[in-house]
Amino acid sequence: MLLPPQSVSFDELSVAVPDFIRYPTIRKLAERVQHETLNAVTSPAMYNAGGTSRRTRILDSLYQTPIADASVLVAITHERHPKLLLTRRAAHMNSHAGEVSCAGGKHEAGDGNNVVTALREACEETALPPNKVQLLGQLPIQTSKSGMSVRPIVALIAPDLILVPELGEISRIFWADFETLLTQPTVEYAIEYAMQDQMATILTPSWQVDGETVWGLTGRVIASLLETGFDRQLEWYYRIQDTRN
């Protein structure tokens, strides 16, 4: 599916410049994520290119990044007390039904790069216009439990945007308070999981956000964001519960 009419072409996308961000938390995050994005580029000449704008270097880095199986949009509101956009997948979905996720999905042939995949999917799922997004950069690849490579694309959005869930894919849009994610301890979460025709209980970290449990791939993406932006180290594990007495 092509980008909808209100979108813009890739080279016209907006990139947030840290020097112009007034809120310290978001400014620090932007600096760190953009450093990570540029540092991942193999060419030192691009990273240090004199006379080339930061916007151009960030877009070049994002464009040249190998295409992942899927991409998600880590959308953060541009305000003094920022919030992170989250969704709950519809219960009838074939994969990850009822789980919390960032807006996003599988790469399609017409996308061309990871950013377009993330923006297209976010628009389809939440009606977020791609031309209302300011890119920060990207985070390291995560791998889903089905083995798919997933690229998180980090961006800023206005806090007053009206978003609408596409009920064929997601059942709810909600928000995580960013400061809470930075300071709140994780809670161990138990999941029943089929292993070799037997059921086992898997223990893993999670956050409790607005009545929802955030764990799995989405939890790892958030943990990566907090580590990249603020050096918050979180042990992310999957451990089989020992049921022996």
pLDDT at 94: 56
pLDDT at 10: 86
pLDDT tens by residue, 70-82: 999 999 999 999 9
Residues 225 and 152: their CA atoms lie apart, in Å, by 9
pTM of the model: 0.91
Which pair of structure tokens corresponds to residue 214? Answer: 């955030």
H helix runs in 17-90, sequence order: 24-39, 44-47, 54-64
For residue 5, the Cα-to-chain-centroid distance in whole angstroms is: 24
pLDDT at 76: 98
**Positions in the chain short of pLDDT 70:** 1-8, 42-51, 91-98, 195, 243-245
Torsion of CA 65, 4, 146, 168, to 10 degrees: 160
Residues 159 and 164: their CA atoms lie apart, in Å, by 14
Alpha-carbon distances, residue 226 vs 4, 85, 211, 229, 236 (angstroms): 32, 15, 21, 5, 13
pLDDT at 95: 55
pLDDT tens by residue, 155-214: 999 999 999 999 888 999 999 999 999 999 999 999 887 767 788 899 999 999 999 999
